[in-house]
Structure 1
Amino acid sequence: MGRLDGKIAFISGTGTGIGRAAARIFAAEGALVFGCDIDEDRAAETVELVEKTGGTARSGTSSTSRTSVRARPGPT
């Protein structure tokens, strides 16, 4: 049993670097990993790496383009 059995981890930036490493470590400890990255193909590679070692992961894409992020006015 892993330290994270039965837990769900939401991790951003799973396509490379620290995000990919975190996804692999969390999954190895038993967590169900939901990851996202702006590079859909790289995020999918991470899912494959996790699943090859017996973990469970899913991925999606994220976007923070200027058209998708809108500032809300503060109180007046």
Structure 2
Amino acid sequence: MSTYLSEALWFKSSYSGGSQECVEVAFIGGNVIGVRDSKERGGPALSFTAAAWDAFTANTRSCRFDRP
């Protein structure tokens, strides 16, 4: 994991209920959002632009990704 992601302030959703099997998100300066597996904190992480993250979360909230 690159230095800028390893030093980010990561958090899980309040809906996770304290589970260790979640994704964690970090809002990183420079218009970047990081996403990683909470079980692999030192492992790889994905990074997205703020626009891509906003589109993903909006589509998730509108149930666009639900199976038919």
Q: TM-score range by the shorter chain?
A: under 0.3
Compare relative contact order (CA 8 Å, sep 6+) and give the higher one, 1 or 2.
1
Provide TM-score, normalisation by structure 2.
0.23
Bigger proportion of residues as helix: 1
Provide TM-score, normalisation by structure 1.
0.22
Larger Rg: 1
